[in-house]
């Protein structure tokens, strides 16, 4: 997302700082990732925060995805660069949310070694 924000900003001629919004989300994702790898006890909380951030990112960029999908049915885009950047951000957020939910499901299915007790 950092790269997406930088490319969007450059592609729009640095006309508006709003093109950097994906980069800001990306920076927060990187910070959460670093925090999650450095502090094992915080990993679950950090992952929940990252998924919440992805849901917020999806909510904010979903309109761009719908606009781009509208082009496929013959519609026109008022601001194509913004719509495409929002669509890419929405898709990245969707993939992250799906991967995160799968990770939570897999973690629930795996028995915890520290809670299992052996007889004897």
**How confident is the model over 70-105, as pLDDT tens digits?**
888 887 888 888 889 999 999 999 999 999 999 888
Average pLDDT by stretches of 10, the chain with 120 residues: 92 86 95 90 90 95 89 83 91 96 87 52
pLDDT of residue 117: 47
Q: What is the pTM of this model?
A: 0.82
Long-range own/partner contacts, residues 106-112 (CB < 8 A, 24 or more apart): none
């Amino acid at each position: 997302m950092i790269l997406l924000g930088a490319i969007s900003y450059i592609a729009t001629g640095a006309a508006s700082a709003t093109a950097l919004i994906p980069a800001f989300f990306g920076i927060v994702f990187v910070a959460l990732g670093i925090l999650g790898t450095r502090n094992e006890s915080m990993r679950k909380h950090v992952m929940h925060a990252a998924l919440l951030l992805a849901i917020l990112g999806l909510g904010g960029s979903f309109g761009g995805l719908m606009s781009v999908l509208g082009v496929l049915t013959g519609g026109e885009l008022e601001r194509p660069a913004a719509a495409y950047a929002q669509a890419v951000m929405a898709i990245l957020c969707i993939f992250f949310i799906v991967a995160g939910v799968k990770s939570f499901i897999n973690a629930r299915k795996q028995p915890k070694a520290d809670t299992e007790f052996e007889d004897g």
